[in-house]
Amino acid sequence: MSSYEIFNPESGHSFGVYEGATEQEAIEACVKDAGYASIDDMEQRLEQPCKLAAKAHLTYEAMTTEQRDALVKEAVRCEQFIARMEVRLPALEQSPDYIVTSKHGFCLQFSKDFSDVTVVPITEATRFTSSAKARDIAARSRDGNGDAAVAKPVAQAVRDAIADQRQLLSDLNRALDRQ
């Protein structure tokens, strides 16, 4: 058995590390973990082909110096994001605006006519002054994985993003501690 990171190459979202004798078996394990009976079941229920991919998951010991440096850079990026967002959070707590995020927390930016949607950093997300308008747009929107979008107050979306980055930072630090 080998370890593979399962991800969506279009959005870059990682669904975690799964075991399998092959990449396909690891993807199947991820799909089952998400509550589907099989990849075919997922494709039928979502009415679209599976967009998941797998890449070998390296242990710290097996990484090259460049890969280890990339981990350190990502950890620093997470720390900087958390610090920037924590400074902005008190002001955002006062904001009545809503933004629309995907099920996986990606922030969405819409074209003027709402016909096109793009995954963007939270600071670039389209803001709505009406929660009803945000919920209406979210109900009609899909992210890159085909999941329905969610309307959230800006402050809640920022708190969720900070929590996600803290988890990622924790995972990175665990990987870096295995020196």
First to last CA, the chain: 24
pLDDT exceeds 80 at position 74: yes
pLDDT confidence of residue 24: 94
* CA 24 – CA 20 distance, rounded (Å): 8
pTM above 0.95, yes or no: no
The residue among 143, 151, 167, 178 whose CA lies nearest residue 74 is 167
Residue pLDDT, tens place only, 149-167: 778 888 888 888 888 888 8
Residues 6 or more apart whose Cβ sits within 8 Å of residue 75: 169, 172, 173, 176
Q: Which residues contact 51 (CB under 8 A, 6 or more apart)?
A: 8, 9, 10, 144, 145
Confidence label for 113 from pLDDT (cuts 50, 70 and 90): low
Tell me the C-alpha distance between 67 and 103, whole Å: 29
> How do residues 44-56 score in pLDDT, each as one tens digit?
988 888 989 998 8
Q: Which pair of tokens denotes residue 151?
A: 């309307």
Concatenated DSSP letters for 108-163?
Answer: EEE-TTS--EEEE-GGGSPEES-HHHHHHHHHH-B-TTSPBPEEEEHHHHHHHHHH
> Is the model more confident about 7 or about 145?
7
Q: Is the dihedral of CA 163, 167, 168, 173 positive or negative?
A: positive
